Amino acid sequence: MQNFDLIILGGGPAGYNAAERAAEAGFKTVVIEKRALGGVCLNEGCIPSKSFLNSAKMLDHARHSEKYGVTVTGASIDHKAVVARKNKVVATLVGGIQAALKGHKVTVVDAEGKIEGKEGNDYKVVANGESYVAPRLLICSGSYAIVPAFIKGAKEMLDKGIALTNREILDLEEVPKKLVIIGGGVIGMEMASYFNSIGSEVTVIEMLDHIGGPTDIDIAKILQKNYEKKGVKFLLGAAAKEVTEKGVVYELNGQQALAEADKVLLSIGRRANTEGIGLESIGVITERGAIVTDERMRTNVPNVYAAGDVNGKSMLAHTAYREGEVAVNNMAGKKDIMRYNAIPSVIYTSPEVGGVGETEATAKAKGYDVAVVKIPMQFSGRYVAENEGGDGICKLIVDKKYDRLIGCHLLTNYASEIIVAAGEMIEAQMRIDEIKEIVFPHPSVAEVIREALYQIKY
Ligand code: NAI
C-alpha cells in the first residue's frame, strides 16, 4: 500500500495540470493513467486535429496562392506523412508532460485505476494490483465518443473499421473517397474541413437545422456557406438511422435515403467516463452519467473532487485545466470558484470560429435587453490584406442595462487567438467605454472588436 496526500485518477488536461499545481501546493501526488498522459486532447483530439488542419491550411494556401500574386505549381498532400508528423507532435508533447510531472516529483502510475472504498479516513484506488491511499481524491477520468445504439450498425461498423470515432480517424492511413460525417458539431466540422481539403467527398448529416451546435447562428450559417462552396454537402434536419458497408441511411422529411461512404465518422457528442471506476464504492453521485460537482469542483463526498469532461459541464480541455486548478486550490484551503460565463469555444475550421459569452439567442432567452452589432471583417485592414474575397464577420452582444459586453463571436483567421481578449473583457465585466480605451495593435485582425464597438447604437 502506498500513501499519498492526493490521488488523481486520469492524466488528461484536468489531471496532469492539477497534479503540477498540487505538487506546488506541497501535496504528495500520484496520477493514475490507463492510456497516455495528455488524455484525449493530446493523443486523439485537440492537438492531433490541429496538426492535421495546419497541413491542410498550408495546402489550401498553396492552391489559392495566385490570388495573392504567388505561383505555386504541383501542390499536393501526403496524408501518411501528415499522420506521421502528427505522431511526432503528440510524442513531443506527451514527453513534455512526463518531464513536467517528474520535475514536480509527481508519481505517475501507468495502469487502470479503480476506486475501492476507504481505508480508514483515506480513499483507496487499486491499480495493477497495488493499493494507493490518500485523504483526497480528484477524479479526472474524462469522456468517450458516443457510439449510439439508436444508429443501427454503428458499433458493428466501428468494429469493422468502416465507422470511426475521433480516435480512429486521426490514425487513418488512407484518404477516404467518400466520407460521411454524422454530427455537424465541433469534431464533425473540423474533420469535414481537413478531409475536404485533402480530396475526400464529404457529406455532413446533422439532425438540427444548423451546424456548429451552440455557435451563434449567423456565424454557423456563413461557415456552412463557406464549406458548401468548397464542396462539402450538408444534410440538415437529417437523422442518421443506420451505418452499413455502403454508407449511412438517414431520414430527412420522413424519407429514408443512403449517403454513400467508404468511411463514416461518428461525431455526435461525448459521454463522461463514470462507469467501472468504482464511484459507487464511496457513494459519488452522478446525473445523466456525469459526476455532480459544485462551483469548487467538490462532489457530494467530502474531499472528493471531479474536474474535466467527467463532470459533463463543459467538455473542453481549457475548461478542464481551470477546473483542476480550482479543485486543488480548494483542497489547499484557498477559496476558488469556477466560472463558466466566459469560456471561449473555437472551431478550427478555415476560417476559424471563435465565440465567448452569450450568443444572441442565449442572451435573449435569459432575458437580457441586448444591443447586437454585426460587422464584416473588412473593417480590419489586416483582414482585407490577408483574405482575398473573405466573408468573415464579427458579432458583439451588449447588455444595454449595464453597458457591458456579454458576447463576442468571430468568423475569421486568428479567431482562436483573438477570442481570448474578448473573454477577458467579459470576465472583467468591462463597460463599453472602458473597452474603447484599450489600444489594439494596428494593423491587427483583433482591431475589428474595437471597430464593432463604435457601430453600436442605442
Ligand atoms: P458536438 O456536441 O459538438 O456535436 C454533435 C452534433 O451531432 C450535434 O450538432 C447534434 O445535433 C448532432 N447529432 C446528434 N445525433 C445525431 C444523429 N443521429 N444524426 C445526425 N446528427 C446528430 O459533439 P462532437 O463534435 O462529437 O464533439 C464532442 C466534444 O468534443 C464536444 O464537447 C466538443 O466541444 C469537444 N471538442 C472540442 C474541440 C474544440 O474545442 N475545438 C474540438 C473537438 C472536440
458, pLDDT greater than 90: no
CB-based contacts of 407: which residues, under 8 Å, 6+ apart?
216, 355, 356, 357, 358, 359, 360, 362, 363, 395, 396, 397, 426
- Positive or negative, the Cα torsion across 57, 61, 62, 63? positive
Phi and psi at 185, nearest 5°, equal -85, -145
* pTM score: 0.97
* Ligand 1 atom closest to residue 266's alpha carbon, by position in its atom list: 26
- Give the Å distance between the CA of 266 and the centre of ligand 1: 9
Question: Percentage of the chain with pLDDT > 90?
Answer: 100
The yes-or-no verdict on residue 406 having pLDDT over 90 is: yes
Beta-bridged to residue 240, according to DSSP, are: 250
Ligand 1 pocket mutation pick from 152, 207, 224 by most atoms within 8 angstroms of CB: 207
Ligand 1 proximity of 346 Cβ (cutoff 6 Å): yes
**Is the distance from the beta carbon of residue 213 to the nearest atom of ligand 1 less than 6 Å?**
yes
User: Is the Cβ–Cβ distance between 311 and 141 less than 8 Å?
Assistant: no
User: Could you tell me if 134 and 298 are in contact, meaning their C-beta atoms sit under 8 angstroms apart?
Assistant: no
Q: Is 220 in the pocket of ligand 1 (CB under 6 A)?
A: no
Cβ of 164 below 6 Å from ligand 1: no
The reply to whether ligand 1 has any atom less than 6 angstroms from the CB of 352 is no
Ramachandran region, residue 312 (left: φ > 0; alpha: ψ -120 to 50; beta: rest): left
Tell me the CA–centroid distance for residue 140 and ligand 1, in Å. Answer: 21
C-alpha 330/C-alpha 303 separation (Å) is 10
At 409-434, the pLDDT tens digits run 999 999 999 999 999 999 999 999 99
Q: What angle, 0 to 180 degrees and rounded to 10, lies between the N-to-C axes of helices 46-63 and 79-103?
A: 140
- Report the alpha-carbon distance of residue 386 to residue 7 in Å, rounded: 49
From the CA of 146, give the closest atom in ligand 1. 26
| Ligand 1 atom having least distance to the Cα of 187 | 25
For the Cβ of 208 lying below 6 angstroms from any atom of ligand 1, the answer is yes
Place of cell 490514425: 171
Q: Is 316 in the pocket of ligand 1 (CB under 6 A)?
A: yes
The alpha carbon of residue 253 and the mean position of all alpha carbons in its chain are separated, in whole angstroms, by 31
- Residue 347 CB less than 6 A away from ligand 1: yes
Element (H, E) at 96: helix 79-103
Contacts of 63 (CB under 8 A, 6+ apart): 72, 75
pLDDT at 109 over 90: yes
3-class SS letters over 144-194: EECCCCCCECHHHHHHCCCEECHHHHCCCCCCCCEEEEECCCHHHHHHHHH
Whether 132 has a pLDDT exceeding 90, the answer reads yes
Question: Would the CA dihedral through 227, 228, 230, 232 be positive or negative?
Answer: positive
Q: Is the CB of 12 under 6 A from ligand 1?
A: no
Q: Which domains does the chain have, with CATH numbers?
A: 2-144+271-331 (3.50.50.60), 154-268 (3.50.50.60), 345-453 (3.30.390.30)
Q: Which ligand 1 atom sits closest to the C-alpha of 151?
A: 18
Candidate from 187, 191, 235 with most ligand 1 atoms within 8 A of CB, to mutate: 187
Residue range 250-277: mean pLDDT, rounded? 98
Establish whether residue 376 lines the binding site of ligand 1, counting it when its CB lies within 6 angstroms of any ligand atom: no
Residue nearest to atom 40 of ligand 1 (CA): 346
- Active-site residue (options: 210, 318, 409, 442): 442
In the reported structure, the alpha carbon of residue 108 is separated from the centroid of ligand 1 by a whole-number distance in angstroms of 31
- pLDDT category of residue 310 using cuts at 50, 70 and 90: very high
**With a 6 A CB cut-off, is 207 part of the ligand 1 pocket?**
yes
- Report the percent of the chain where pLDDT is more than 70: 100
Q: Which atom from ligand 1 is nearest to the alpha carbon of 239?
A: 19
Query: Could you report the per-residue pLDDT of 280-290, keeping only the tens digit for each?
Result: 999 999 999 99
Looking at the DSSP bridge assignments, the partners of residue 206 are 236
C-alpha–C-alpha distance, residues 280 and 455, integer Å: 55
Distance, CA 345 to ligand 1 centroid (Å)? 13
The CA 42 to ligand 1 mean position distance, Å, reads 18
* 204, 268, 348: residue to mutate for ligand 1 pocket, most atoms within 8 A of CB: 268
The three cell numbers locating residue 55:
497541413
Reply yes or no on whether 442 is catalytic. yes
The set of residues, in sequence order, having a beta carbon less than 8 Å from that of 89 and lying 6+ positions away, is 47, 48, 51
Rounded mean pLDDT of 223-252?
98
Mutate to test the pocket of ligand 1, among 270, 271, 309, 313 (most ligand atoms within 8 A of CB): 270
- pLDDT band for position 457 (cuts 50, 70, 90): confident
pLDDT tens, position by position, 180-226: 999 999 999 999 999 999 999 999 999 999 999 999 999 999 999 99
Determine if the peptide bond prior to 214 is cis (ω within 30°).
no
